Amino acid sequence: GGSGIGFAIARQLLQYGAEVFIASRKQDRLEQAAERLGAYGPCHSFQLDIREPERIEALAAFIKEKSGKLDLLVNNAGGQFPSPAEGISPKGWLAVINTNLNGTWFVTQAMAQHFFFPRKQGNIVNIIVDLHCGFPGMA
């Protein structure tokens, strides 16, 4: 929610009257986004690296404290390194997998357990990049 598509989605949800929570690894970007989004409605921000399950649990507690409920989860975090496949290091590969795959799963599972399953309702939107012509230079 701190930039790009996530920011645009947060802004639109606020314009529809939703209370919005945004999360981002970068605190400065997060604060700037929350300030800008606050002009449209109630926007709460939380510094989060989705690769850290304990921080995701802290996010769930934060949402419960501020709102008590969550109706919609939009997973929008993602990342990659500009590198041909033969050049990406094991550390770089794991960073991509831990963000794009594991982190998304950790957030989805935690929010479902804390909010969606108990109420037997909730919505999840996972945003991915679909490339039809490849992405040269990206492993």
Greater confidence (1 vs 61) lies with 61
Q: Is residue 35 pLDDT above 90, yes or no?
A: yes
DSSP-based three-state secondary structure for 138: strand
Between CA 69 and CA 122 the distance in angstroms is 10
Residue of 20, 19, 24, 18 whose CA lies nearest to 4? 24
What does the alpha-carbon distance between residue 85 and residue 56 come to, in Å, rounded to a whole number? Answer: 30
Q: Which range has highest mean pLDDT (23-32, 57-66, 70-79, 123-132)?
A: 57-66
Domains, in order of start, for the chain: 4-126 (3.40.50.720)
Give me the residue label for tokens 């507690």.
Answer: 61
Residue 56 near residue 107 (C-beta atoms within 8 A) = yes
Predicted local confidence at residue 94, as pLDDT: 93
Q: What is the pLDDT of residue 112?
A: 98
pLDDT tens column, 79-103: 877 888 889 999 999 999 999 999 9
